[in-house]
Amino acid sequence: MDLVTDRGVLRLHDPRRFGAVVWAPGEDSPQAQKLLGRLGVEPLSAQFDVAAFALALKRRQSAIKQVLLAGDEVVGVGNIYASEALFIAGIRPTTKASRLSKPRVARLHAAIVQVLTRAVEQGGSSLKDFVNAEGRTGYFQLEAAVYGRAGEPCRVCATPIQSMLQGQRTTFYCPTCQKP
């Protein structure tokens, strides 16, 4: 879908059908609040505060990977980026969010920012047929430490990378480098 405006073209090409286009008269309208009102903070903004993130995670009994994917505490941390950030932070994806200490949350917070910043610099991740608005593929997946590397040696410790299903999504992790 292309929306042509006097300020340019807004394009949605969504072969995986995760997205939608919905018109609302403003951010505070009931239509917008129904879809966006429960979303978490943008991780590349100044509002992504480590203390608030730690407090939010203390209230969550789910596995940390599931909390990151849910989008109600922090947005934009999809499956690839969650696996990579958890690896950098040294946190096993199955660890309950509420069990994370403040230092581990701080490492995760920094890892999320690091991974997403690098992903933006690399144009995102191209798996299958993803291309950006200019038709170019992303390159972040080429740097993946764990994502898509099941059975391959960890780049840090050489232990084989493991995979498992969490909420119908494949999770990748190093059983040595990532502690419960």
Confidence (pLDDT) at 6 = 95
Number of Cβ within a 10 Å radius of residue 25? 9
Confidence (pLDDT) at 85 = 98
Place of tokens 């410790």: 157
Report how far residue 64's alpha carbon sits from residue 99's, in angstroms, rounded to the nearest whole number.
9
The structural domains of the chain, ordered by start, are 1-37 (no CATH), 40-173 (1.10.8.50)
List CB contacts of 161: < 8 A, sequence separation 6 or more.
146, 149, 150, 151, 152, 153, 154, 172, 173, 174
pLDDT means per 10 residues in the chain (180 residues)? 90 77 88 90 97 98 97 94 97 98 98 93 61 56 86 98 95 97
Confidence (pLDDT) at 155 = 96
